[in-house]
Amino acid sequence: MITMIAAAAENNALGKDNDLVWHLPDDFKRFKDLTSGHHIIMGRKTYETFPKLLPNRIHIVITRKKDYKAPGCIVVHSLKDALDQVKDDEHPYIIGGGEIYKIGLEFSQKIELTRVHCDYDADTFFPEFDEKEWELVHEEFHPKDERHECAFTYLTYIKKDN
> Given a cut of 80, is residue 148 above it in pLDDT?
yes
What residue ranges do the domains of the chain occupy?
A: 3-159
pLDDT at residue 139, as a whole number: 98
Write down the pTM of the prediction. Answer: 0.94
pLDDT given for residue 162 in this prediction: 58
The whole-angstrom separation of Cα 62 and Cα 131 is 27
What is the pLDDT confidence band of residue 18, given thresholds at 50, 70 and 90?
confident
Contact 42, 97 (CB under 8 A): yes
CA distances (Å), origin 75, targets 50, 66, 72, 152: 15, 9, 9, 33
Burial class (CB in 10 A: 0-12, 13-18, 19+), 98: buried
Query: 3-159, what's its fold?
Result: Dihydrofolate Reductase, subunit A (3.40.430)
25-63 per-position pLDDT tens digit: 999 999 999 999 999 999 999 999 999 999 999 999 999
Q: What's the confidence (pLDDT) of residue 131?
A: 84
The 10s digit of each residue's pLDDT in 76-104 is 999 999 999 999 999 999 999 999 999 99
HSE-up (13 A, CA, CB side) for residue 139: 4
Q: How far apart are the first and last CA of the chain?
A: 16
Write down the H helix ranges in 39-139.
Answer: 44-47, 79-84, 98-104
